[in-house]
Structures are given as structure tokens and as C-alpha cells.
Amino acid sequence: MALLELDDLAVTYTTTGGPVPAVRGVTLTLERGQTLGLAGESGCGKSTIAASVLRLLPRSASITGRILFEGQDVMAMDWGHVRALRWAGASIVFQGAMHSLNPVKRVGTQIAEPILLHDPKEREGAPGFTGGERRQRRRAADMRVAGLLDQVGLTAASAERYPHELSGGQRQRVMIAMALACAPHLIVADEPTTALDVMIQAQVLNLIADLVAEHGIGMLMISHDLSILTSACEQLAVMYAGRIVERGRARQVFTDARHPYSEALTWAFPVIGDREARMRPRGLPGDPPDPAELPSGCPFHPRCKVAEPRCSETDVKLWPAGEGRQAACVRVRDHPAEPAAATSSDDSGEVVA
Amino acid sequence: MSIAAADTAAPQPAPHPGGPVLSARDVVVEFAGRGRSAARARAVDGVNLDIERGEIVALVGESGCGKTTLARTLMGLERPAQGEVRFRGEPLSYRMRALRRYRRAVQLVLQDPMGSLNPHHTVYDAVAEGVRIHRLPDEERRVADALSRCGLRPPHRFFQRYPHELSGGQRQRVVIAGALVLDPVVLVADEPVASLDASVRGEILSLVLQLREDLGLSSIMVTHDLGLAWNIADRLAVMYLGRIVELGTPEQVFAAPQHPYTRALLSVLPESEREPIVLTGEPPDPTRIPSGCRFHPRCQELASGAAAKAGVAGACTGTPLAVLPASASEGHAAPQVACHLAAASSARTPSAGNP
């Protein structure tokens, strides 16, 4: 049984301006101990997927397709099961650690909160605790908090600190400690290192990698930075306009992208020492499409520099593109086995940024 | 809405005969400490830096290393406790009127465009603000010019838009247009692309190169993104705890980093092939700068005994390093580094400066 299974998931937000399809049919599977990176620009639907896994979407979102967490349909769960799923089954590390922590509570109290809430006694609806029991629970939770802080490389004394007394990297570690508090099987990390320094980012990524390896946790990491996802995840899925447009082993996708969009994302972060990138920053012209008004055919065709006339008519689904990988592009459909997308070699001199 | 990048540009700027546009000489910036102890924090502790006309200098380092304070000091927003900032060779005057003139010439671009734009102001008002403050003629022409220079074309279509109607990249272009409208000589950008999408990043960096090409605009890029430095910087200054510890062209510094701190920074990049050296701990406290080399408590060379083998371990912990001189970017001067170990090994092999 897979840890997480999304089956043709589609999420549409109802807004005053009409329906906005944010996710348009995403199918993916994640096993325990696996790491999957989800890449794409803002607005491509990657964070909507993260929220849907824990049923955190607003009421205005209508969902079709299925989300299975350890075989259970998340959408069909009753409230008690959803509560059990959050923190204990799966937890989220959000990007802005400053905004995700309560500024007026000590971090230890905040980490202990899910632990106390998920205490089995509490869940059984014990009517109340005696003073001794309560003290015992507190002490046990404090021990657990100290253990968690140690796991993420903070001292036990940090539990007494308020968020503003910690640096950005330390706050992000607190977030990770919270995410681990109830020993979940899945961690969803939404841009966990954005706004962190190179060195702190390396520390946090190392920490996440160790935890995944040690506890056999599954991880879904979301970012717009392909180089980070490639170093942190085995598998990579690139999203555009609510769909996965390329999927495969992370390193393969990063070094030899088959979809023109993934390729454009790989240029965005230069490899230091790569002479091609020196004094030639490359971006992707244009803006991501408005989900409410998607272009006809392949939604990427207006920005694609290898677009052909047929691209504005044909909408391509994910297609096998070599061993263990798929891409959604007409060129891949025509030449599934072609080793490298010959998109960059012929016109590298003509840089459009 | 795309602009042609400066792909054919010869990256080396013509050296300005009149010397550097902007320079820092032994600049020290202190902040009063908080609380009972009230130790003063030396955010910048002796920095020499020259910025030539049309040059793009990247200032990299961890948060808290003083790079933003240095940039603010160069803008005249902080007053150095010691040393001075020189603009076209003249020491900066901190009288209101002179500063106002100076701030027309040196403009600031901040990280988060949504935070720097007033959501109630149209694009036109946002860009025109500087023109109004400085009471310049031809407001509309200037605004239109600045917008189209920044790739927002045709400019009139953007005049009445509000920030929320724009994409992240367009917003940052508006912020840059707001800086350009005053015809500045130097652009100081603090993390100009950190909050932007991967796809937009390259476009904004190309814009900076394009502006250098068209207007001879110099830029100081304050960033922790080493890729940015590789993408567009002519020179790179690595800062640690208030000092520049290594200075050179990105080719020099990235190919043969000499300071252990620079080596550590490079080694943890996701694409790095070096053995990652993850420094533990946070950057140290500027109220308590370590003795000797300020990096020594975290230095991997000292910890591994390499410094002791070279016979400099005592110097590392005890002898302060001299402030690096502001390297003039004439030709390919050897990169500068503030490290006892690097000094010892280049003394043994004199050619080691430029491998």
C-alpha cells in the first residue's frame, strides 16, 4: 500500500470571477522512505496539492479525483480521522517560519501542543485528568520536546525561547521539530529553505535528509528551485498550469530535461563555473497563464521557444520519455526515445531573457 | 514582454578615467547595544571597496554578516563611525541637502517588490514619486522612459495598473523603474531576485546587465545567492562578520577560493562537486568579534589541523588580519584574501595567487 496516492486529482476554486482550476488532473504515488520534489512557478498548483493532502483547502475549493493516504480516502474521512491524520499521519513544514509560529508562545509550548493533542488518552475522550496525571503528561511532553529539539540540532534550553529570539535557521528547525512531533509517516515541506542563507539552507537540507533516512519517512518537497529539489529528492515532478508536465529521476530531469518548461527552469539557477551562464542569465519570458483563461492546446505553447503550429491545438498528456520518466510534449510523443531534447544546442547564442 | 539580453556584451566595463564612482575607505559602522551590557555591535568593521563606472559588484555572505549595513552606508543611510564613503572621489556630506542630491545618484532596490510598492498607488504614481520629490520637469516622459527601459512596453498600458494586477517579475521591474527615473549612477540592490520565481530571476538579472550596457549604470548586488554573482557580477566580495574576507572576479574566486569560509560556502551549493563543508552554528555575534582571525572559531582548516601544520594556528587565534585594500579592477589583479593560512601558502609558492 502506497503512503500517498493522488489519483487524477483536480482542485477548482470558486471565485467571484468564476471557477479557477488550480490543479487539473494530477496522478502520483509516494512510498514510505521516498522523496519526491514538486517544482513549478508560483500559481502552478503545487501548494494547492500540499494543502489538499491534509484537507487544508478552503471551502471554495471543489475537489475531484482521489487522495489516498495509507489506503484511506482523505476526502471521505470523518472529522476525527482528519484530526488524527494531521500531525500524526502527515505534517507540513511551511516556508515562512516567522509567520507560522505564534510570536507570543514559547517554542517548547508550541511543539508540545500537537503532542498533547494527540495523546491517545485525550483522543479517547477522557473526561478530565487528575492533577498528578496532568503533571505527568506535561513532563512526558517536555521530555519529548527536548528530544525533538536535540534531533534538529537545537539545545533543550531553546524550548524556553520565543520565536523572535531565534534566528531564521533556528526557527525553521523549530518548524521541523514540530512537524516531527507526532512521528508522522509523511512530511510535506513547502519551500522549506526559501529565504534562508546558503549555509543554513545546507544545514536544514542535511537535517531533513537524515530524518527521512533514519525514520523511513516519505517526503513531498515543494520548491521553485530545481537544484535544491535535485539535491534533496530522488524523484522530481515539474508542474505547469495545474498539471505535471515532466516526471522522472531527479538528476535525470535536472541534467537532461525533456520538456521545454523543465529545461527553462534548469537554466534559471546557473551551475557555478559553467561558462555558458557567465554574463548570460537566462529566464523564461512571459508570465504563467491565468488558470481561469488557459491557452488552447498545450498551455505552455505561448512561452515555448520550440513551439510548433500544432502545439496551439494539441493538448498532450504525460507520455513515456525513456526509462522511468514521462513528459507532456508533442516532441516527446513523436520521439519518445530521443536521448536529449535538442532544444538548447542549436540556438544558445540567441538568448531571450 | 521580453528584452534582448546582453549576450554579445563584452563583460569587462571600460575603466573610468576619473577613478571609482563610489568607494568605501576603512568604513566602520556601529550600532548601540541593547540591554544592560550595551556592548556596541560592529556591523561593519573596516571595509575598503571601490565600484567603478559600469561595474557590477556582488556582496555575498550570511545574514548578519553586515552586507546590508554596508550597502545602506554606501547609500548614506547609515553614517560610518570611522572611515568614509566617497562619491566620485569626494567624501560624502551628511547635510540634508547634499544627501538629497546624492540619493538621486545612488538608488536602492529592495528584495520584495510587493513590500516596496504601495498597493494603493498606480504604477505611474509609484515611478513618478521620485520625480515629484526631486521636482524634476517632464514627469510623464521620464516615467514612460523608465518603464520602457525596464521592459514594460508600451509604458502607457501600465500607467494605471495597480501592483496586485502585475506578476512578480513585472512588479520588480516597476521598482527598478522607480529607481531609474532619477537617472542614477549606481544601483544598490538588496537581494533583488530572492523573492522572485525561478523563471523571472534570469529576466531581472538580464535587465541589470542591459542597464549597464545602455546607461553605464554601476550596481552593487547584496545577496546570498552565489549563482547571481556568477551570472552577472564583474567582481565578488565575500563578507564575514563585518569584513570583506575575499575579493576577486567570480572566475578567480569560484575557481580557486582561498578563504576557508568561501570554500565552505561553495561546497554546500546543491550542484557542487566538492565535499560539502557544512559549518555548524550561526554566524557569530558582532558585539563579540573573536580575537585573531574572526572566522577562526568556525574554521575547518584550523579544526582539521591544517593551519597548525602550516604553522599559523597561533596567528589564526591571536593575530588580527589587516583590512583588505580596495582592489582596483585593472586587468586581472590577483584576488585578495584575508587568511593567515592562505598568506602562508602563497608565501611558499609565490605563483599560488593566480593558479
The grid coordinates listed for A136 are 505527568
For residue range A286-327, list pLDDT tens digits in order. Answer: 888 888 888 999 999 999 989 999 999 988 888 888 888 999
| C-alpha pair distances (Å), A176 with each of A96, A169, B43, B315 | 12, 11, 30, 40
How many residue pairs bridge chain A and chain B with CB atoms within 8 Å of each other? 147
Binned at pLDDT 50, 70 and 90, residue B8 comes out as very low
Q: Higher pLDDT residue, B331 or B345?
A: B345
| C-alpha pair distances (Å), B265 with each of A112, A250, B121 | 35, 23, 40
Cell 529521476 -> residue: A249
DSSP helix/strand/coil, A264: helix
Of A83-97, B42-56, B137-151, give the lowest mean pLDDT range: A83-97
On the question of pLDDT at A125 being above 60, the answer is no
Whether A167 sits inside 8 A of B63 (CB atoms) is yes
User: Which residue, B240, B241, B277, B238, is CA-closest to B254?
Assistant: B238
Whether B11 sits inside 8 A of A195 (CB atoms) is no
Shortest CA distance from B264: residue in chain A? A199
Which residues from chain B sit within 8 angstroms of residue A351, using beta carbons?
A: 4-5, 7, 206
- Beta bridge partner(s), residue A28: A6
- Beta bridge partner(s), residue B336: B247
For residue range B197-237, list pLDDT tens digits in order. Answer: 888 888 899 999 999 999 999 999 999 888 899 999 999 99
Q: Which long-range contacts (CB under 8 A, 24 or more apart) does A10-16 make?
A: A10/A63, A10/A64, A10/A65, A10/A242, A11/A45, A11/A48, A11/A49, A11/A52, A11/A57, A11/A61, A11/A62, A11/A63, A12/A61, A12/A62, A13/A58, A13/A60, A13/A61, A14/A60, A14/A61, A14/A62, A15/A60, A15/A292
Q: Higher pLDDT residue, A216 or B353?
A: A216
- Which of B5, B225, B280 is facing A351, going by the closest CB pair? B5
Binned at pLDDT 50, 70 and 90, residue A352 comes out as very low
For residue range B281-305, list pLDDT tens digits in order. Answer: 666 788 888 999 999 999 999 999 9
φ, ψ for residue A289, nearest 5 deg: -70, 150
The grid coordinates listed for B295 are 572566522
State residue B349's pLDDT score: 60
- Give the minimum alpha-carbon distance from B232 to chain A in angstroms, rounded to a whole number: 5
The grid coordinates listed for B67 are 552586507
- Give the minimum alpha-carbon distance from A164 to chain B in angstroms, rounded to a whole number: 15
Whether A264 sits inside 8 A of B255 (CB atoms) is no
State residue B10's pLDDT score: 38
Whether A272 sits inside 8 A of B227 (CB atoms) is yes
- Give the span between the Cα atoms of B258 and B341, in whole angstroms: 9
User: Which residue, A194, A288, A214, is CA-closest to B169?
Assistant: A288
Asked if residue A60 lies in contact with residue A33, where contact means CB atoms within 8 angstroms, the answer is: no
Shortest CA distance from A266: residue in chain B? B198
- Give the span between the Cα atoms of A122 and A199, in whole angstroms: 41
Binned at pLDDT 50, 70 and 90, residue B59 comes out as very high
| C-alpha pair distances (Å), A14 with each of A57, A60, A296 | 12, 5, 21
Which residues from chain B sit within 8 angstroms of residue A349, using beta carbons?
A: 7
Q: A17 in contact with B at a CB cutoff of 8 Å? A: no
Q: B304 in contact with A at a CB cutoff of 8 Å? A: no
For residue range A242-274, list pLDDT tens digits in order. Answer: 999 999 999 999 989 999 999 998 888 888 888
Whether A283 sits inside 8 A of B6 (CB atoms) is no
Binned at pLDDT 50, 70 and 90, residue B351 comes out as very low
Shortest CA distance from A254: residue in chain B? B271
- Which of A198, A206, A273 is facing B254, going by the closest CB pair? A273
State residue B334's pLDDT score: 73
Q: B280 in contact with A at a CB cutoff of 8 Å? A: yes
Whether B9 sits inside 8 A of A279 (CB atoms) is yes
Cell 549576450 -> residue: B7
Which residues from chain B sit within 8 angstroms of residue A279, using beta carbons?
A: 6, 9, 11, 209, 231-232
- Beta bridge partner(s), residue B305: none
Mean pLDDT (chain A, rounded): 85
Shortest CA distance from A41: residue in chain B? B197
- Which of B64, B200, B254 is facing A272, going by the closest CB pair? B254
- Give the span between the Cα atoms of A239 and A88, in whole angstroms: 28
Q: A265 in contact with B at a CB cutoff of 8 Å? A: yes
- Give the span between the Cα atoms of A217 and B317, in whole angstroms: 43
DSSP helix/strand/coil, B115: helix
Q: So where are chain B's domains?
A: 3-33+40-233, 256-348
Given its phi and psi angles, is residue A11 left (phi above 0), alpha (psi -120 to 50 degrees) or beta? beta
pLDDT more than 70, % of chain B = 88
User: Which residue, B90, B116, B109, is CA-closest to B101?
Assistant: B90
The grid coordinates listed for A46 are 503545487
Shortest CA distance from A196: residue in chain B? B63
The grid coordinates listed for A14 are 470558486
State residue B128's pLDDT score: 95
ipTM of the complex: 0.79
* Segment 140-169 of chain A within 8 Å of chain B by CB: 167-169
Tell me the one-letter amino acid at A352: V
pLDDT more than 70, % of chain A = 91
On the question of pLDDT at A121 being above 80, the answer is no
Mean pLDDT of A136-162: 88
Shortest CA distance from A95: residue in chain B? B195
Q: B172 in contact with A at a CB cutoff of 8 Å? A: no
The grid coordinates listed for A22 are 488550480
Fold of B3-33+40-233: Rossmann fold (3.40.50)
Strands, E assignment, B70-208: 82-87, 90-91, 106-109, 186-190
User: Which residue, A116, A110, A97, A184, is CA-closest to A149?
Assistant: A110
- Vertex B140 angle, CA B137 and B146, to 5°: 100
For residue range B69-78, list pLDDT tens digits in order. Answer: 999 999 999 9
Q: B278 in contact with A at a CB cutoff of 8 Å? A: yes
Taking the whole predicted model, whether its pTM rises above 0.80 is answered as: yes
Chain A interface mutation, best of B231, B259, B272, highest count of A Cβ atoms under 10 Å: B231
The grid coordinates listed for A300 are 505552455
- Give the minimum alpha-carbon distance from A140 to chain B in angstroms, rounded to a whole number: 28
Asked if residue A95 lies in contact with residue A188, where contact means CB atoms within 8 angstroms, the answer is: no
State residue A198's pLDDT score: 81
State residue B286's pLDDT score: 85
Whether B5 sits inside 8 A of A280 (CB atoms) is yes
In terms of Cβ atoms closer than 10 Å to its own Cβ (0-12, 13-18, 19+), residue A74 is buried
